[in-house]
Amino acid sequence: MLRAVSPNCLKCPTFIAGKCPGTAKRLVATEASPVARKDKQEGDISSVFSTFSGRKSPPLPERFRDLKRNLTTGFEEQIQKSWDDLVEVLKIRTEEVATKREAIIPQLKFSNIQAGDVSPADIAAIRNTGVAVIRGVVDKEVTEDLLRDARRYLTSRPFKGFPSTADQKIIYESYWSPSQVKARSHPNMLATQSWMNQLYSADTDQKIDLSVPLAYCDRVQIRPPGDKHFGLPPHVDGGGVERWEDRAYNHTYRKIFEGKWREYDPWDLTGRLEAEMNMYNGPGGCSVFRSFQSWLGLSRHGPQQGTLVVHPILQPTTAYWMLRPFFKPTRKDSLDGWKFSLDDDEGNVYLHGANPGTMQEHTPIHHPHLRLTETMIPYPTVEPGDTVFWSADTIHGTEMENTGDIDACVFYIPSVPLTPNNAQYVAQQREAFLKGTPPPDFPGGLGESEFSDRATIADIQLEAGKVAMGLSPIKLAGKDENSKQLEQEVNHIMGFSS
């Protein structure tokens, strides 16, 4: 078995710079846990959206009709009754969101999380909406310094990103600026992710520790005033057709397909940890389980200033868009009287916004009962150092324009709990970090490998940050036998001896 990295190595300048001759040998997974990387084509964030790329959505192959039939055979009557009930519930919930707007989004203080003083009502609100704002995670002055240094790093050379043809980018294909690495490994950020992850529940036989966050390295957004390019349509991350096609993934939604949507628990991890979310190797497909997508706010911005928008209705909305491919209207332009069907009036098969190789998108035409034009709600104004979170199945997008007078700036820092599959990814990502190339899930190329001022191990804050990046062994001491086995398996994957 491979030996753990020596503490002396972490102090060595050649190791920190990723140039140590022995680095590759020490920091790879064992032969028993292959993590071979298949580089993706170069590109940008627009690749994962049909609406951005201009691709049409043709009918799906005939095998998807069989898939839909297999998922629902024997439950057709129950599903029809469930749908009718669901539509009535959505009438109430969407009206509530349209009326309350951003006031419905839960807001917590990091200091309360740190003190263990979060009310049950706040926890219930997050579980109900799927979203949250956590105030004051990183000190404002620290955050402003991170943004200043990131701007210097990004503007000191040509950077790829979106839009690809513009001189000024909005989403930078940057993963390894010192500021990003410092932010991901900030102890308060890791503590917040740990707390948020534990809103989920797992069976005792599932290989996961929700208290230990791993790093999933993502991009930078600097959206200037007046920008109209980066208006992301409503969508969910974590795959498209995979939610129906992959057996483990569709098992997550088994209660919905049995006509029992009220029994569906979006915080139950059954099926999610084994799910294949990137069956078609999409250019922006995510191959890990992200409990939450999230970002650290770097500038003050809010409604009408190019911020994130979300549909803060989690359980019934998820049931709705998972069932939508099985229903069609019986009367034109009516929200009532929809009937169970495996295809449309022309006999074509769709999953309504889900296509192989892209993520699930939502539109008022395909998903009229969600009232998306009224219920995609902007987050409240954030200050530098605040974070926002949205769950694995939350519909989200961005405002169509930044009408403010300053840049809307964020570091994307998703929440990724400790699992063997996530550890496999981090082992590959660690190699990319040391080389300066893009992380495995993102468009490939040389990335920042030729930048002498990119981040090094010295920019990672504290031991917990090194653990999150796969640069130190996992330690789950004092826990039960399942945790001990998980610790051993993950460290084996990471290439550390026990």
Q: 32-36, 270-274, 342-346, 452-456: lowest mean pLDDT where?
A: 32-36
Asked, for residue 42, whether it belongs to a domain, the answer is no
Helix (H) / strand (E) element for 378: namely: strand 377-378
Residue 400 in this model has a pLDDT that exceeds 60: yes
Residue 33 in this model has a pLDDT that exceeds 70: no
Residue 13 in this model has a pLDDT that exceeds 90: no
Average confidence score pLDDT of the chain: 90
Q: pLDDT class for 167, splitting at 50, 70, 90?
A: confident
Asked, for residue 199, whether it belongs to a domain, the answer is yes
Asked, for residue 33, whether it belongs to a domain, the answer is no
Of 37 and 132, the structure prediction assigns the larger pLDDT to 132
Instruction: Name 310's bridge partners.
Output: 377, 396
Distance CA(313)–CA(394), nearest Å, equals 8
Q: pLDDT class for 9, splitting at 50, 70, 90?
A: low
Residue 25 in this model has a pLDDT that exceeds 50: no
CATH number at residue 440: 2.60.120.330
Asked, for residue 238, whether it belongs to a domain, the answer is yes
Quick check: helix, strand or coil at residue 268? strand
pLDDT (mean) for 419-437: 97
Asked, for residue 336, whether it belongs to a domain, the answer is yes
Say how many domains are in the chain: 1
Contact 392, 292 (CB under 8 A): yes
Residue 32 in this model has a pLDDT that exceeds 70: no
Percentage of the chain lying above the pLDDT 90 cut = 81
Q: pLDDT class for 282, splitting at 50, 70, 90?
A: confident
Residue 20 in this model has a pLDDT that exceeds 80: no
Short-list 468, 9, 387, 412, CA closest to 177: 412
Domain that holds residue 127: 58-494
Asked, for residue 281, whether it belongs to a domain, the answer is yes
Residue 83 in this model has a pLDDT that exceeds 60: yes
Residue 164 in this model has a pLDDT that exceeds 90: no
Cis check: omega of the bond before 266, within 30 degrees of 0: no
Asked, for residue 220, whether it belongs to a domain, the answer is yes
Short-list 470, 446, 471, 456, CA closest to 177: 456
- Taking the CA atoms of the chain, what radius of gyration do you get in angstroms? 22
pLDDT (mean) for 164-181: 91
Predicted confidence (pLDDT) per residue in 437-496, tens digit: 999 999 889 999 999 999 999 999 999 999 999 999 999 976 789 999 999 999 999 999
Of 34 and 189, the structure prediction assigns the larger pLDDT to 189
pLDDT of residue 236: 96
| φ, ψ of residue 75 in degrees (nearest 5) | -120, 10
Q: pLDDT class for 285, splitting at 50, 70, 90?
A: confident
pLDDT of residue 51: 56
Q: What end-to-end distance do the CA atoms of the chain give, in Å?
A: 9
pTM above 0.75, yes or no: yes
Percentage of the chain lying above the pLDDT 70 cut = 88
